[in-house]
Structure 1
Amino acid sequence: MFNREYRNARFLIVDGNTQLRLALEKMLKSFGAWYIDMAADGDEAINKCEHGLFDVVICDYQLSGRNGQHVLEELRERKILRYTSLFVMMSAETTREMVLAAIDHQPDAYINKPITSDVLKQRLDNLLVDNEVLYELKHAIDMERWSEAISRCEEKIARGSKYLRWCEKTVAELYFQTGALHEALRVYQQVLSERTLIWAQVGVARVHIAQADYDLAEELLRKVVAAAPNCLVAYDLLARVLVDTHRGKEAQEWLVDAVSLSPTAILRHARLGDIAWDNQDVDCAVEAFRNAVELGRKSIFDRLENHLGFSRSLCERAGALPKVMREAALQETVEVLRNIDERFVMNDAARFQYEVVAAKTCSMLKHEEERDERLARAETYYQSVGLSLPSARVMEYAQVLLASGKDLEAEFILSQLSLMHGDEPELQKRIEEMRDEPVSPAARQKAAELNKQGIKLAEQDDLKGAVAAFNEALEYSARHPALNLNLAQVLLKQLSSSPNDGAARRACAACFDRIIHIKPTHKQYPRFQHLRSKFEGTYGDGVEAQSAG
């Protein structure tokens, strides 16, 4: 091996151990290297790469603060480290978890510690020679000259280069990224006609997904997972197919399996959180977003949307807890929101989401003044970005407005949303359900369970127990028509034997007041009219006198 590649290359050594950095520097100098810089941690390494060009970064995985994978991800994601540069990861133990965590950005090589001069030189010799041969092709990719890069790849493939497989994989990816799906498919299928390679099968599946050929993609991805259970990109793609074909719960199951195999992959945890939220699995969403937030503290993938998802799911879960536990649970939401406000610069759309979650939290904590201030700010941001927001975010806003007694404002938002999405029957159904019950699915389920309990107690003539069950249910869903009417009906039965019970009269009147919003077309409206007329005809004056007294 000639020393030319080492003399021309600029090296950066990243390790927290001073003696090891000096030992590696000595080895590189003995290979012919002369431009060698060093960094003690990830932050220093990124800073040096921002202010200088390096051809080879040799980085320890177990750094303090950011680990080696965090460093690699930030350098590649921000395009600080060029495609022509090499990244070599050192580790005392190259674990499966470490390798599987590298979803989008993988090092060019792993080297296990302790490192000997012979092992390091052999590995670097091969990498530098390969890089020299492929330099012009890689440089074209760095400069985003896609046609040139594709042409150079095809030329090497035609010549039967020793880098044939690398060029085939690279050119197929370039075709895919530039939208030439048929060309990408041609390359992948040519590779598979010669040899069954996992990356080519995954590539074919990606093309099928891009072409909306979901059946073919799913069939192939299931075969890939069966043959290579550690191919986590296949899990990710399969989850995407399942979501796109309205099978979100199965998609969630696949991602749960994937994160169990690779528990440090931040992007996968975040995706799991999104899918679990859509599936109304709040507990899973909380833990997935928690993992994404905690693992992402030192990562380029520490994204605002993960923190917002975490705060939203925490708040939602608190709403399904018994009243005595709710306040303590909401304190974590408050802390997450405070952290968001301190750490992130938010655009109007993000600030709108932030204020809605904060208002909902204040509402549940009975901090009504702060809640109204938050809702006023949310309204300002909504006027700016409302038409571009996803319907789910707008529904959350309407939910908080309804729960805060701001029915007119909520009705305006829901009517606007209904007009914009008139061709989506499922959304129209959710809008109608929200008018009745502006609470989380988990709170709705808890209210339903207590409602059933109250009905059973009423049938057993345990009126006191039924009233207690219905009142507890109302703590989860105060505006639900059937629930309020069930309570009113039991209270009327109590009043038939105790007509002077002022507390029961006021409670019954409150039931009707809470559902005054229902329209004549509502299925509970005839019952509402009947019970209210019965109550007012018999006890109405007494309630007013009692209230006045």
Structure 2
Amino acid sequence: MALELIPYHKKRVLIIEDMAEMRTSLKSMLNNMGVNLMETVGNGEEAIIKLSYNNYDIVFSDYELGRGKDGQQVLEEMKASGKMPASTAYIMVTAAQTVEMVMGALEYEPDGYIAKPVTLDILRTRLNRIIRTKEVYREINQFIDRKDIDGALEACNRLAVERPKFALPAYRIKGKLLLNEERYEEARDIYDTVLGIKRVAWAVLGMGKVEFQQGNYEAAQKLLEGLTRTKAKYVEASDWLAKALEAQGKYKAAQQVLEQAVEQSPKAIRRQQALARLADLNGDADVMFKASKKASILTKNSAFRDADNQIRYAKALQKVLKYGGMREQKIASKEAMVALESVKTVTDLTSLQLLKCGLVEAQTLFNSNREDVARIAYSGSLAMMGDDLQLSPDDKLDLLAAKLVMEDEASSQAYAATLLNEIGNDPRLLKKYYGVLDFHLIPDPQKRHALLKQRGAELLQLKDYEGAWEIYYKATRLPITDSDCQIAALQAAVGLYREGPRSSERLQLTNALFGELQDMSNNDPHYPELEKLRLQWTRQTQEDDDQSTTG
């Protein structure tokens, strides 16, 4: 298409911009280019409504839109809903050049970007180029908009044959269509063909998705790990890598992958929700709190608002409610109740979600000094537990957390003992189980210390040095700690350092712990073991220092 023949007078345009001056300026420049059919909105929420009920040829969206949704979130939501036609050109207009903006924009693939300040010449040049590129895929997009997938696939084939310059982009679209249609073997053939010609990142990602969907989790992991190491802009690879790791039971590794991914692109709503869910599975309350809070903020008035995430956010706030300062407790109580009230507005909640919401509501009320109302809410929650409600071990751990607050010690401990027997030797669930008990015992240092020492000894016996170190070191931070606990923590540290991986933070903590025991008398019964550990530690760390020096 010749640039001068672009029929802008026929194009319907939506401008999403919170600044009135910029809206006026863009309208004036577009009018100068021949655009007559223009609408404007001042925020992301209005944009979602407009885009959901109208079709536009071109959308200009500012990245920063003041309060509420930004341009990235509008694009993410519209792509997920499928309500914006594939033929629409979505263009981000932004003055921001932060890593957060760049990664977010790359991830959701707008058709183009225009940097502020925008001049008529810049606008004309960039828009002409974007529209001309969009025209290349017009036939494919028309079939997609008509939901004629076979027609779109054939159009991809024609484009690849007739215009070889666009063969790889055509195959990329074809691969995505086949994945969406769950035609995995055909998608595999596409990615095999492309990778046989050139190792492009999107084909590696596509093949990783195929391997995952077909249950080849280790193969998916291998492909996706390589991609996340070499192609930072393919943050989506982290999502699928986390899924592949979780499918293999590698929950901690899956969480770590998503933690790194949200640092790159923190406004990705569903990734934050996925991180909160994994952190919950791992019993990592701090990460669950951060991720669920971020997701809760991002999903305000959003189609991605998730009942489970709101329940997790309210659950994560219990730590502040129980042990925070008075002002913090007041804020946390309000936020928890708002989150839980938003859950109750969902019309299709499952019985399990209703149970979990009720349990967290009861704890919130109890920890907000409203014990009578809390007991009513707790009784109402238990009434939902019919014989047909199947609770997973994780669900039962949530129930245990509520029982420890709401029931007498004998009843809750009896339930804890039964649950512990059911959990068996599952490392993840055991860690989470003892985490629930540990959290409950924070006000009772004596019992908490005894619990930590008991669990630490079990892990040390199993040579789970990482788990033992984590537990014992926590115990050494209690005011009532003893030499037994400190020595055991050092035993775990030495064993863990020997096995690897090495951590500079743990190295510093261990050195500091040795320092805390430097004044131990040689008459102390622990002294020989301390000196033995100190010698082993010195040898191990000295060897590493020597290797790094000579290397």
> How far, CA to CA, are the matches of 1:218 and 1:454 in structure 2?
37
Q: Give runs of aligned pairs for residues 101-500 of structure 1, distance below 5 A.
A: 101-102=104-105, 105-297=108-300, 299-315=302-318, 321=323, 325=324, 331-344=330-343, 345-346=345-346, 347-349=349-351, 350-364=353-367, 367-383=370-386, 386-387=389-390, 390-401=392-403, 403-405=405-407, 425=424, 439-443=436-440, 449-451=448-450
CA contact (8 A) 1:83 1:142 kept: yes
Change (3 A) 1:31 1:335: same
What is the letter of the counterpart of residue 385 of structure 2?
A: Y
* Residue 511 of structure 1: aligned partner: none
The unaligned stretches of length 5 or more in structure 2 are 455-474, 476-551
Change (3 A) 1:348 1:261: closer
TM-score (norm 1): 0.71
Shift of 1:199: 1.0
What is the letter of the counterpart of residue 395 of structure 2?
A: R
> How far, CA to CA, are the matches of 1:117 and 1:216 in structure 2?
50
Shift of 1:407: 9.5
> How far, CA to CA, are the matches of 1:122 and 1:53 in structure 2?
24
TM-score (norm 2): 0.71
Does the alignment pair 1:47 with 2:43? no
* Residue 10 of structure 1: aligned partner: 12
CA contact (8 A) 2:58 2:89 kept: yes
The residue matched to 2:131 in structure 1 has which SS? helix
Change (3 A) 1:86 1:215: same
* Residue 81 of structure 1: aligned partner: 84
Change (3 A) 1:226 1:371: same
Shift of 1:10: 0.3
> How far, CA to CA, are the matches of 1:373 and 1:110 in structure 2?
55
CA contact (8 A) 1:16 1:41 kept: yes
Does the alignment pair 1:20 with 2:19? no
What percent identity do the matched residue pairs reach?
23
CA contact (8 A) 1:5 1:129 kept: no
What is the letter of the counterpart of residue 335 of structure 2?
A: V
* Residue 543 of structure 2: aligned partner: none
The unaligned stretches of length 5 or more in structure 1 are 456-472, 474-549
Shift of 1:76: 2.7
Residues 471-523 of structure 1: CA deviation (Å, up to 9, x unaligned): xx9xxxxxxxxxxxxxxxxxxxxxxxxxxxxxxxxxxxxxxxxxxxxxxxxxx
The residue matched to 1:62 in structure 2 has which SS? coil
Select 2:93's aligned residue among 83, 90, 95.
90
The residue matched to 2:384 in structure 1 has which SS? helix
> How far, CA to CA, are the matches of 1:38 and 1:60 in structure 2?
12
Shift of 1:244: 1.8
What is the letter of the counterpart of residue 71 of structure 1?
A: V
Change (3 A) 1:50 1:412: farther
Change (3 A) 1:43 1:264: closer
What is the letter of the counterpart of residue 335 of structure 1?
A: K
Over the residues paired in the alignment, what is the CA RMSD in angstroms? 3.7
Change (3 A) 1:384 1:209: same
> Which range moves more in the overlay, 107-116 or 297-306?
297-306
Change (3 A) 1:266 1:330: same
What is the letter of the counterpart of residue 49 of structure 1?
A: L
Residues 164-215 of structure 1: CA deviation (Å, up to 9, x unaligned): 2221111111111212212112111211222221111111111111122222
CA contact (8 A) 2:90 2:110 kept: yes
Change (3 A) 1:48 1:368: closer
The residue matched to 2:389 in structure 1 has which SS? helix
Residues 405-458 of structure 1: CA deviation (Å, up to 9, x unaligned): 37999899999999xx98x85579969x97xx8944544686664227999xxx
> How far, CA to CA, are the matches of 1:52 and 1:297 in structure 2?
23
* Residue 36 of structure 2: aligned partner: 34
* Residue 499 of structure 1: aligned partner: none
Shift of 1:117: 1.8
Shift of 1:328: 6.6
Shift of 1:373: 1.0
What is the letter of the counterpart of residue 34 of structure 1?
A: N
What is the letter of the counterpart of residue 253 of structure 1?
A: Q
How many matched pairs?
A: 446
Shift of 1:9: 1.3
Change (3 A) 1:208 1:20: same
Change (3 A) 1:279 1:127: same
Residues 329-375 of structure 1: CA deviation (Å, up to 9, x unaligned): 65444212321254441325333221110112344456432222112
The residue matched to 1:382 in structure 2 has which SS? coil
CA contact (8 A) 2:107 2:233 kept: no
CA contact (8 A) 2:438 2:451 kept: no
Q: Which has the larger radius of gyration?
A: 1
CA contact (8 A) 1:4 1:32 kept: no
